[in-house]
Structure 1
């Protein structure tokens, strides 16, 4: 029981190397302190110090601190006093009253947004509820304390919470890793605070447990004895008791040693610190041992102690006794409130003469504030409006610049397109003029005339085809154009070309657009390479088509720009602007059909690739 309760004794945050000296210094501060709130804090510090050696003194100072804090309406002091009262009642084995006071302290700390002390109180409540037999509720409070504590980066309070977690689950083999983690983190945090000597005692005790589990039982016991002796020397009696109880754990795990001297030592330390009400389990265990050993002297000694403790436990169960202090303190508070009320009435009478002047002054100040507020608001609205106008103007300028760049690119392309069209129309017109001249002069042979007519027909048909494709491309750029995909059989469309296309492989696209793309890719492959083949394959929900020619005259860098407005002509320089225009139109057609088109150079191969959705 004491082992679970020990966490409430971890609330102090100062180094306890010389308990009597610290108490003496605090008493001297009480004699000289003039500030009432600081005086209350010193009373609470004394209460906390005294719980190490005298539970009754801890209780007395807590009562004084609560009384003074109530008169001053000092909530932080009242919360600390309630916390100390909770500790005092717990040391007297009155867990019910301890929980009641701790709940009140928690309410105050939460109102004050004091997360550090709220974390401590939640940690204590987890212990109290476990002592009351409500282990699940106790664990919930412990988890709440850990949730708050982990947000207090390198706060010594979190070290105490982690140690409490390790104490709670030290014997749970399923949580061995989490217990070791908690000990490691607590040691890391304690290293940042010289005042956490007490924490290090517990951490070293857990390290002794690890030695015990690793088979070094004798070394673990010796270490525990040394730690307990040093803790007692430093005035940390409660720490010494808790450390000694580790040896009881070793005995319960099968390690053979005489445990009775340790139990007697624990009980003796408990009597020194006034923790006798918590020592009932130890006294029962010792009394039973000496009864079996027929040691009459020891039986009489511990029988008397047992009777004293059980009688006190029965008295503490009396509800009137349990609530007596609470009723007394409430009565004291009521008296103080009556006195405070009289003082307030006298102050109120004096204040009435000043109230009117204060109201006028307040009204005047409010008027000035309203004027200033209106002026500030007007200036702020003007500033916001100017900022919005500036942002709108900047956005419009950026949009105009983007559109200008796009128009310039499109204008360059159209100029090149007109140049290509003019170039393509020049040849058939020249052929027509040449044939007309021959017919007019009549000096050409019949065979030559027929050849010229055929050439003129072919070039005219080619030019007409190019013109038709350009018209289709222009039509696709118009806002009224509606794309309607249809199934297109790839093997049929590439008839007459060496292909690796599976039978029945279809893509969703516009047949005429796709035919233009195929003719352009084949023409480009023939122009930029020699041997040509076509490969098509299904990829998930799309079809990828590659027109491959080799060896190629292009570099990888040139291939990447074949289908871009700015780079197409540069990429095929020396091969004609007509081919560049075709590739650019191919890119637009693919965008309209929801596909992608690009080019790669792999070794000596030029790969002209497009991908369209599969028609299935």
Structure 2
């Protein structure tokens, strides 16, 4: 169908072309005639946009022939506005920029301001309200300097429209009132009508129905006086919607019907649709099933007609675009060969028409079946999409339920773990501490025994504090929705600090610690989380390392992962113990080489924490030789060491 309409339009356009060209070849038009040609072409835009654009393309050529720069700028301004109305915003912007370039070369500040005003309209449509407002204010300043009151009034209406869309009603009303004052001074009825209409729209958005109704009636009064049927349709629609909101259904129906009839007489199908939608809402409130059915059928018919018109108009418009682009590419060559072109145009036109007739006949036979197949395919696709959406919604709901069950199960397991640790590992040191204090207080031990008990008390205190830190941080890590503050942490520096904290324990067992981590190694995570992980790994290594033993911190890159290992030469573990420790829920503890006690919570905690930061814990051990605990995490690009980059 599109191909058929496209061909028909090309034929019509080419038939009209020779007459316009013949006039341009006979003589060059004066600036006054060129200005009139531009204005007349643009005034027909509401009747036939494609024909108006075609005439403007011809006028552009004549202006270029006559080297009339001001007329060329005005022509580009009109063409850009047509593209703007059609929705081709980027192409419209190209033409407005051409106007700016020409106007700057000719020092035409008036057309510069007009182009800027149109560019502001594009910015508003793109949602760039601040930029649109700034551009429009610049244009208004130029119009004020040039005393262009008509342009000032129109521009302030546009500015109020931008501010209304931003819900800046106060400034919008100020600009509307300023525009209205100018319209009264110049007797601009159309501007006065737009002022009342825009005020009514603002009151409607603010839910001031009575004020909105009053201003719609004022707008309607001017529309009737100047016989502006388009404006009357807008006012009728506004009144119909307002009365519908206030449940005055009879009045709403009267104005909606009036809007429908007026819009239908103008051929404004979108406004007819709006009016029918208002009537449909009225019928719905009245439970008038017959009216609802009739209106829905009417609305469906209008949609079909509108789609058909849009397709036809789009095909015509695309052809005009193609013609205009071709002429822009050949305009320079046409100046030198205009006479020869006029002699051969008839022959070329006949050949083109013959080809087009053949093409139309072929396209007509194909288009009908193609449209039917496309319609059925679209219906099938819509139904399939609806089924898929429902299936996806059900799947998502099931997934959420499963996730909630998993969270509840984790919470139950966490509660059991905490009760076990608190009831045994935390309570026992506190009870033992009380017993020691009682012995000392009752003076049942000697001074030397008291010193030994104080040393034991200090060790129990350190273990209890470490256990409490682990317990509190584990609880924090398990609570959903907690805030995590991440930062870049130098791991070598962090490990050095942990070694210093364990200095007393290391001296008691005469254990040496080698920090061989790279100086530039950093991990972007919460610092306290990293301290908990590596402090537990270090204290675990100290616990199971013999007197005069050695612990090493090592780092290397494997398969794009950073591996940080804590290696000791302690007692090591059997394979079955390693397998128990690898289980996330396994709670396991034994005494250390110096009979140190532990809760088993530390290893469970660090496994959870490493998992939360996207890493994993790997355990390797040889019984009687030692153990290696390795933390693996994904290496970001910025964490690659300088000395490991390729030369």
The TM-score range, normalised by the shorter chain, is 0.3 to 0.5
State which structure, 1 or 2, has the greater radius of gyration over its C-alpha atoms.
Answer: 1
TM-score (norm 1): 0.41
**TM-score normalised over the length of structure 2:** 0.39
